[in-house]
Amino acid sequence: METTISKSSSTFESVAIRFAGDSGDGMQLTGSQFTETTALAGNDLATFPDYPAEIRAPAGSLAGVSGFQINFSSREVFTPGDEPDVLVAMNPAALKANIADLKQGGILIANTEQFGVKNLERAGYKSNPLEDGTLSAFRVFPVDITNITLRAIADVGLNQRAAVRTKNFFALGLVYWLFSRDMQHTLDWIQGSMAAKDPVVAEANARALRAGWNYGDTTEMFAQRYEVPKARIEPGRYKNMTGNEAAALGFLAAAELTGLDLFLGSYPITPASDILHYLSKQKHLGVRTFQAEDEIAAIGSAIGAAYAGSLALTTTSGPGIALKSEAMNLAMMLELPLLICDVQRGGPSTGLPTKTEQSDLLQVLYGRNGESPIPIVSASSPGDCFYAAIEAARIAVTYMTPVVLLTDGYLANGAEPWRIPDMASLPPIPVQFHTDPATFQPYARNEVLARPWAIPGTPGLEHRVGGLEKANVTGNVSYDPMNHDAMCRLRAEKVARIADSLPATEIFGDAEGDVLVVGWGGTMGALRAGVERARAEGHTVGHVHLRHLNPMPNDLGDILKRYRKVIVPELNLGQLWMLLRARYLVDAVSINKIQGKPFKEHEIARAIAEHAGSKA
Amino acid sequence: METTISKSSSTFESVAIRFAGDSGDGMQLTGSQFTETTALAGNDLATFPDYPAEIRAPAGSLAGVSGFQINFSSREVFTPGDEPDVLVAMNPAALKANIADLKQGGILIANTEQFGVKNLERAGYKSNPLEDGTLSAFRVFPVDITNITLRAIADVGLNQRAAVRTKNFFALGLVYWLFSRDMQHTLDWIQGSMAAKDPVVAEANARALRAGWNYGDTTEMFAQRYEVPKARIEPGRYKNMTGNEAAALGFLAAAELTGLDLFLGSYPITPASDILHYLSKQKHLGVRTFQAEDEIAAIGSAIGAAYAGSLALTTTSGPGIALKSEAMNLAMMLELPLLICDVQRGGPSTGLPTKTEQSDLLQVLYGRNGESPIPIVSASSPGDCFYAAIEAARIAVTYMTPVVLLTDGYLANGAEPWRIPDMASLPPIPVQFHTDPATFQPYARNEVLARPWAIPGTPGLEHRVGGLEKANVTGNVSYDPMNHDAMCRLRAEKVARIADSLPATEIFGDAEGDVLVVGWGGTMGALRAGVERARAEGHTVGHVHLRHLNPMPNDLGDILKRYRKVIVPELNLGQLWMLLRARYLVDAVSINKIQGKPFKEHEIARAIAEHAGSKA
Amino acid sequence: MSVYSFLKEIAHTDPATLGRKDFQTDQEVRWCPGCGDYAILAQVHKTLPELGIPRENFVFVSGIGCSSRFPYYTNTYGMHSIHGRAPSIATGVKVSRPDLSVWVVTGDGDALSIGGNHLIHALRRNVDLKILMFNNRIYGLTKGQYSPTSEQGKRTKSSPAGSVDYPFNPISLALSAEATFVARGVDVDAKGLGAVLERAAHHKGSAFVEIYQNCNIFNDGAFDYMTDRKTKAETEIRLEHGKPLRFGANGDKGIALDAQMNPMVVDVATHGEDKLLVHNETNAALGFFLSRLVHPEFPTPVGVFRAVTKPTFDGMMEDQLTAAKAKSKGGGVQRLLDGGESWTVT
Amino acid sequence: MSVYSFLKEIAHTDPATLGRKDFQTDQEVRWCPGCGDYAILAQVHKTLPELGIPRENFVFVSGIGCSSRFPYYTNTYGMHSIHGRAPSIATGVKVSRPDLSVWVVTGDGDALSIGGNHLIHALRRNVDLKILMFNNRIYGLTKGQYSPTSEQGKRTKSSPAGSVDYPFNPISLALSAEATFVARGVDVDAKGLGAVLERAAHHKGSAFVEIYQNCNIFNDGAFDYMTDRKTKAETEIRLEHGKPLRFGANGDKGIALDAQMNPMVVDVATHGEDKLLVHNETNAALGFFLSRLVHPEFPTPVGVFRAVTKPTFDGMMEDQLTAAKAKSKGGGVQRLLDGGESWTVT
Ligand SMILES: Cc1ncc(C[n+]2csc(CCOP(=O)(O)OP(=O)(O)O)c2C)c(N)n1
Ligand SMILES: Cc1ncc(C[n+]2csc(CCOP(=O)(O)OP(=O)(O)O)c2C)c(N)n1
Ligand code: SF4
Ligand code: SF4
Ligand SMILES: [Mg+2]
Ligand SMILES: [Mg+2]
């Protein structure tokens, strides 16, 4: 589609837009269409979908508000943006829930049709904010989105309910116009995927989209348009990738790289279930998914599959880890490779199941009886879940050990444009089952202290494993005191030595100076952006983002010493912070936030400035 | 009984004796009789029973050896003694398993009848050690205990099997003679408890006992006898007390002090089961014990009972804690008083179920998803389990929180002479259920941040609690980000403030100087004895033994600073050590041992000397 | 004076003053519009005030799931606990406080998947609990995975090629767990459900009620075959103690045994009413037999499968305490402390 | 070349060469002298070499308990896992490696207490496992607490006043969990046990075998009533498919139904053999009925209660994989990576 550009337009480096509406309003779809179009337009971008909590809230209620934020730029983008420049509010509840975040002077587009008495009341408004002057700090654009849309598609022949549901495409069209985006990608999608399901609905949506565009173009409302030039982006093929899908793909890739069959034992739990859903569609790749009766059975089945020779995986979230811990300990004792993926969510207890948090680190590190060392790997962005999953698998099969992969709700549901990797370029992960009876001892160890993997069906290697302490080398049950001491230390040593296989730690920014920011997991983008801001303000700041939480990299201690102050921002009350203090005796500062939400860039920048300032 | 004392005798300050034999040889009974008699004789003492591992091992095998060590003295005694001065070995396996510990020049009494080819083989001896000269470092007294006993009781009329079983009383009589102990207490016990069950057996045992005494008195074998004078002991009534019994009594006392009914939900597990056994006999005190189908149901039932207004308790060991962690987190979120008693055993996984270890500290502190602060109290000696249980209950009901009580296998099965407390002298623990609807808010807080306890049956206080995050004050479900942040911090703060209710930390030994030894739990005796030794050697050493692991006492940070070196001996790989380093940034040294066995005094003394020496 | 004595002294709510409204809460009900849970909630709110129990003596315990949000909407004491553990928690409530009326609300996932063991153990012990299991044959809250009651071959998010799990028969399972009261109701059948709930409430011992519940979002229409007015008569059979098993438009059909002891649908007129099976609520094996009548071969039984009275777990525990107290010599904990072997140091 | 291909290339043990000795290990057997576990071990060692399966293809998975030490004494692949979880672990073994013969050894506590849920779910799914539950009606390893199969009133360490728990009937439970093979054997009855084990081994699907086992330390003589030669004939009844239910010294007694569908013991001569119940292994409800024959009112049935064939879980899962692979366009993970919406930056 050729779109004529009218009205004046000005250029911006970055813009953040938030679409917000009722759960039924299709905001996630709107967001992902905008994302793809923007990616095609060559911007760098980051997104943040904000689903309502687990409950199905009544229409129009605050609890039912669904949001999607996208930050796009001509520079590198690390986060979805602190404060949106534009808010599209499809109803009063969406306005109420999001207006506090809108930048001063920002654009608010509101669907006036929804601002009737009943909906205002549902959202807790005493009077209509579009009319009572309370929004004077913003540029408010009231648009009767529902009715204009209905008029535009009147003759398509949809019933009222279905017709109303196209209004999100009107909003999308309007925003496309406002930001000078090309509608073609979305029109293609409508004519493709959507039309395949229902051509009438597709036609209506296409019209609604165009109507939105035309509305912007023809009405007097918007004085100007905005443009965000292309960013410089690494060449390659890109797609939008969520953390859960990336993790699932990473496990699949690891299976291919090891030559093993993937087995997943899982019990559904928010926000981890989608990994189960994704993998259960991959039977053609030899993937077995077992939906167990609970988390314990799930990991139990994975332990059985690992013993039998699969690349075994179990996926869950925090409460599920609590239940799996006894079995994780068994896997540790058996020294079998096992991948345990914890998609962290807001705790404690049932907590805030749909919100994000980084508060399972100490649980996965210490939540077992006895001395039970288990390696921990974490992912730092949605797409990075792919590589983190592969790294977890490398460690598991190389060292014959369970490994925890930590992701979180923010990564899991969040999406980012992701460069599609070439499988052939990934280093293979060699696995060799033991076959020779002459050299077989169940708990003999190789140069990295790993014991042999001898799978049932191999003649002459019949052996028994179990959770009682085992004699070094033979693996027989042993109550010998010195053997127990030795085995506890051997197991710890094996895990500690994984550090020898890690690359040098990457430092972003200054290699020494005022402040070192140390983080892990899904806060990566916010930390990087915050560090950039602080450096732009003149501070010398470094950023280390840990992929490996256990063991930590060998060079970390030295790096910590090169800065006057170490700050550790986490979405918990200071878990990595505690570990760094204990291990390196560094007087680090904990920056914590536990609101079910990611850090904002400015929160990090401010914290850095504060501690860089105190040049004591 | 009047016993004539013949032969010369010399006086010793302390003596340690170990009785060792097959599981069926009655060594525990022998040990406890010797203990009571020795206590009556006015010595201070400590004991250590060493049961075979959980399996029922074949007679005569190494795995089946059962031991009992007693250390008694005219001075204060802290441990069962590092190396026994006397070893009684009832068979070759008992010899094999214990001889390495016997002090150079120590006395070995062996039952020669058992040293036939078959038994030697079972114990893994190629030749008879009593004859092959390998025991030349010891004073060996081979006695045909079995046959002398049989002859002594020949006319009592027991069958062969039953008759042979009296031989432990022969050994006991012989040792009584050797250490100039009065047999009367044991004779009374035989004529009382034993005769009530079977007078014939009792008569046989009494004769065996006398025969042992007479054997010592009449044969030429023993050139001299030993005497250990009375110790200065706090006046009062004493009894022998195991840790499990003391803990059970402590929970009962707490119920009485609070006025609450005690409820125990438990699932049997070594070494915790005896608490369940003991409490299930106390129905007359209104105690309800519920043997659940698993650990989760056990704690679940206790949570229900706590909600309903009981003093609720659940008991288990490490693997059981792993299973209970999700429910512990629920209790934390509900802010209900709940006692969780973890009798630690050798881990990880099934580990060494009958052996002791201190390796669940980090598990109970951190083993839950999200930020989940739970207070932790530990007991430092068998009898101290009583007071530690009461302290746990005080915290639970005062602060409305679950509390973990850590004991361990060594404390649980170990016994010590224990001064019987007077219930009237214990401070009451006031509990007041909320009753007034006008002032009721489920999550309102009092001056120590505790919420009200409103139990079902109270009109007007109907309310719902649950594991989702709750709104401050009202307790309604809340997904509000700031509320979540505030609640996480409030819960943490509530637990942190418990420290304000703790007495000043007691320092044993020097209040400042070279070395501070910081410990916790069942290592108390060994640490104290080790510190005494080191001080006797001229080092200035303090010893702090923590009852409270979470929160730690307010004055601990200051105390740590007063010593040049802090060492932290633990039966794990450094758990408290890690916490102290993180919290106080103190460059403490971890002394660890993980052999299923307590520390020896000299191990501690040596560690102190080492670090006191390095005056760098 | 005991800390508990206020419970006896305080003025309790007069049950006669209670109405349905008294059991509603101020919390917004957050099930999807059209969810079967609403109808069940309404029936429970109708039943509770009729039981002659002060409102403050009710406790509702639930696990996790859409169904498990029930306590928030019922103005009694309540706990929305963790997934699958409600029967254990409720057992603790009831055993420690036999004066309370304790209810469990759970789903097919909560009760039969993660919580299966606690359920069967509570039933086996005959703890005096009223257990309402909302069976929508799906995991609702986690957005639609198959559950242990989903039919084989079901395509869901986690079984895109169709589930290969055979389902549990919850009634069979409850009976084999020795439950003393076992019944089935249907969300939209207000009258039948009300009757079953009332009988469950009055049952002394553990009562298990399976309630067919429509999840219109993830498993819509699962029970249409038997709730549809047009087909109901042919697809549902109402169990009545002592009555022959008849169904069909005019009760023209019945259930009888064939020579192999297998059930068969017969024409009453030709087969003879006296040859029909007669329902007997006291016969567990018969109850089991009836639980095997499964759609589409057979009409689905609703009503009470089993109802027998046995001493309850909580009652027997209470009796043991009473007996022990009667025999006790008093002296409290001090007597225990003082007992056994001891010696005096002066 | 697949990492698994060596399994096909390697020379497997010829099952014909295997004998009982090949299944013994070098580990000292550490049960108490006189324990019933020895006899069961012997029967299993006798059965395994007769199955035509290479030794390396057996996997024994157990939980925790005296019984669960079984794998150490059996020279196959094995895992002594954690308490109650053996069915889950075994499910993982079997589902991922349908070529293996997977056995579970468990106790009444391990299987029915902590592990009850995993057991019934494994049975429901019809995973091809052979599950041997040693029922000694006590927790042996933890030194004698009552178990879910202990009789009510039993005095143990944890029930000094007598247990108030009603026991489970394991056969009823297994049947209600839809187990396709359900049987009972007795430790000292070598022949009967051997026969049951052999049938279980050959059953395709989940086989549940309850084995009465004497714990001579903590529950001695629990089954004397039916193992004692003198009373055996009156207290035991052997189930045979298609045969009427007879027992007694000369088969003079039988089991029949009364008018209420309750079982009764009848004199065959006076009642008539044709009126006796006839055993039918394919009828779950009949199996359930027979499981309710409980000592002392009735003789205890031994043998096979139910045996039917249904597709197994592991088999169906395998079929789904095969079908999916057949339809696959190849390309491995790269195809997934490449699929869906994408754009190119140059
Ligand atoms: C320990 C744990 N595991 C998993 C979950 C996720 N989860 C919550 S509810 C549920 C299943 C709900 O199904 P059902 O009991 O049938 O309830 P419904 O929503 O259908 O009413 C699951 C798997 C959880 N909350 N906690
Ligand atoms: C998680 C956990 N809880 C409890 C235990 C303690 N435990 C070990 S075996 C057992 C019961 C054994 O009973 P059963 O299965 O009947 O076996 P038996 O010893 O009688 O053969 C218990 C409670 C444990 N090992 N692990
Ligand atoms: S998802 Fe289903 S069960 Fe849950 S509230 Fe909605 S309709 Fe009801
Ligand atoms: S305790 Fe009982 S079950 Fe265990 S080995 Fe001994 S006799 Fe056998
Ligand atoms: Mg459901
Ligand atoms: Mg048992």
Encode pLDDT of A148-186 as tens digits.
999 999 999 899 999 999 999 999 999 999 999 999 999
A82 three-class SS: coil
Judged against a pLDDT cut of 50, whether residue A1 lies above it is answered with no
Tokens of B211: 């025969």
Query: Shortest Cα distance from B312 to chain C (angstroms)?
Result: 9
Query: Which residues, 6+ apart, have CB-to-CB distance to A31 below 8 Å?
Result: A19, A47, A49, A68, A69, A70
Helix (H) or strand (E) holding B608: helix B601-613
Which of C271, C279, C278, C275 has its CA nearest to residue C307?
C279
Average the pLDDT over A469-493 and give the result: 96
Distance CA A579, CA A565 (A): 16
Q: Is A78 on the interface with D (CB under 8 A)?
A: no
HSE toward the beta carbon, residue D35, CA cutoff 13 A: 26
8 Å CB contact between A95 and A129: yes
Q: Is B547 on the interface with A (CB under 8 A)?
A: no
Judged against a pLDDT cut of 70, whether residue A484 lies above it is answered with yes
pLDDT band at D342 (very low <50, low <70, confident <90, very high): confident
DSSP A64: G
What confidence score (pLDDT) does residue C307 get? 98
Cα C162 to middle of ligand 3, angstroms: 21
Tokens of C265: 């649908």
Which chain C residue lies closest to D262 (C-alpha atoms)? C283
With both helix axes pointing from N to C terminus, report the angle between A524-536 and A601-613 in degrees, rounded to the nearest 10.
50
What confidence score (pLDDT) does residue B1 get? 34
Judged against a pLDDT cut of 80, whether residue A146 lies above it is answered with yes
Cα A271 to middle of ligand 1, angstroms: 12
Residues of B with Cβ-Cβ distance to D117 under 8 angstroms? none
Tokens of C93: 């409530």
Q: Is B61 on the interface with A (CB under 8 A)?
A: no
Distance CA B227, CA B180 (A): 6
Tell me the pairing of strands D129-135 and D207-212. Answer: parallel
Q: Report how far apart the first and last C-alpha atoms of chain D are (Å, whole number).
A: 37
State whether the Cα torsion C186-C188-C189-C190 is positive or negative. positive
Query: Which residues, 6+ apart, have CB-to-CB distance to D157 below 8 Å?
Result: B273, B277, B280, D143, D144, D145
What confidence score (pLDDT) does residue B9 get? 78
C218 lines ligand 1 (CB under 6 A): no
Which chain A residue lies closest to C31 (C-alpha atoms)? A56
CB contact under 8 A, B293 and D148: yes
C195-221 b/e (C-beta count within 10 Å ≥ 16 → b): bbbebbbebebbbbbbbbbbbbbbbee
What confidence score (pLDDT) does residue B542 get? 98
Q: Which numbered atom of ligand 4 lies nearest the CA of D30?
A: 5
What confidence score (pLDDT) does residue B7 get? 64
Q: How far is CA B234 from the centre of its chain?
A: 21
Judged against a pLDDT cut of 70, whether residue A424 lies above it is answered with yes
Cα B468 to middle of ligand 3, angstroms: 18
**Ligand having the closest approach to the CA of D67:** 2
Q: What are phi and psi of A344, to 5 degrees?
A: -65, 150
Average the pLDDT over D269-293 and give the result: 95
CB contact under 8 A, A371 and B350: no
pLDDT along chain B (616 residues), means of 10: 56 94 92 92 89 73 92 92 95 96 95 95 94 93 95 92 95 95 94 92 96 90 87 91 97 98 98 98 98 98 98 98 98 98 97 96 98 98 97 98 97 92 97 96 98 98 98 95 97 98 98 97 96 96 98 98 98 98 98 95 96 66
pLDDT band at A295 (very low <50, low <70, confident <90, very high): very high
ipTM of this complex: 0.96
CB contact under 8 A, B351 and A369: yes
CB contact under 8 A, B325 and A325: yes
**Ligand having the closest approach to the CA of C109:** 1
Distance CA C284, CA C290 (A): 10
C134 three-class SS: strand
Which chain D residue lies closest to B63 (C-alpha atoms)? D30
Which of A477, A488, A405, A480 has its CA nearest to residue A442?
A477
C218 lines ligand 3 (CB under 6 A): yes
8 Å CB contact between B293 and B465: no
Q: Which segments within B253-396 are labelled E, that is strand?
A: 262-266, 288-291, 311-316, 338-344, 376-378
Distance CA A562, CA A586 (A): 11
C231 three-class SS: helix
pLDDT band at D341 (very low <50, low <70, confident <90, very high): confident
Q: How many CB pairs under 8 A join A and C?
A: 60
Judged against a pLDDT cut of 80, whether residue A55 lies above it is answered with no
Which residues are near ligand 6, the ion (C-beta closer than 5 Å)? Answer: D 107-109, 136
Distance CA A606, CA B243 (A): 53
Average the pLDDT over A229-243 and give the result: 92
Interface of B with C in 271-310 (CB under 8 A): 282-286, 288, 290, 292-294, 296-298, 300-310
Cα D83 to middle of ligand 2, angstroms: 6
8 Å CB contact between B19 and B68: yes
Mutate to test the pocket of ligand 3, among C218, C220, C223 (most ligand atoms within 8 A of CB): C218
CB contact under 8 A, A304 and D325: no
Question: pLDDT tens for residues D8-65?
Answer: 999 999 999 999 999 999 888 889 989 999 999 999 999 999 999 999 999 999 999 9
Q: Which numbered atom of ligand 1 lies nearest the CA of A294?
A: 3
Which chain C residue lies closest to D258 (C-alpha atoms)? C283
D108 lines ligand 2 (CB under 6 A): yes
Tokens of C129: 């609990």
What confidence score (pLDDT) does residue B54 get? 56
Which residues, given as ranges, of chain C have pLDDT below 70? Answer: 1
Query: Shortest Cα distance from B316 to chain C (angstroms)?
Result: 17
The helix/strand count (H/E) of chain A reads as 21, 23
A56 lines ligand 3 (CB under 6 A): yes
Q: Is A509 on the interface with B (CB under 8 A)?
A: no
8 Å CB contact between D100 and D94: yes
What does each C-alpha distance from D253 to D237, D239, D243, D246 come to in angstroms? 10, 14, 14, 6
Query: Which residues, 6+ apart, have CB-to-CB distance to B292 below 8 Å?
Result: B265, B266, B267, B298, B300, B301, C88, C121
CA geometry: angle A383, A389, A392, nearest 5 deg: 145
Cα A25 to middle of ligand 5, angstroms: 26
Mutate to test the pocket of ligand 1, among C37, C41, C141 (most ligand atoms within 8 A of CB): C141
Neighbours of B560 (CB within 10 A): 18
**Ligand having the closest approach to the CA of D143:** 4
CA geometry: angle B593, B599, B600, nearest 5 deg: 130
Which chain A residue lies closest to B320 (C-alpha atoms)? A326
Judged against a pLDDT cut of 50, whether residue A3 lies above it is answered with no
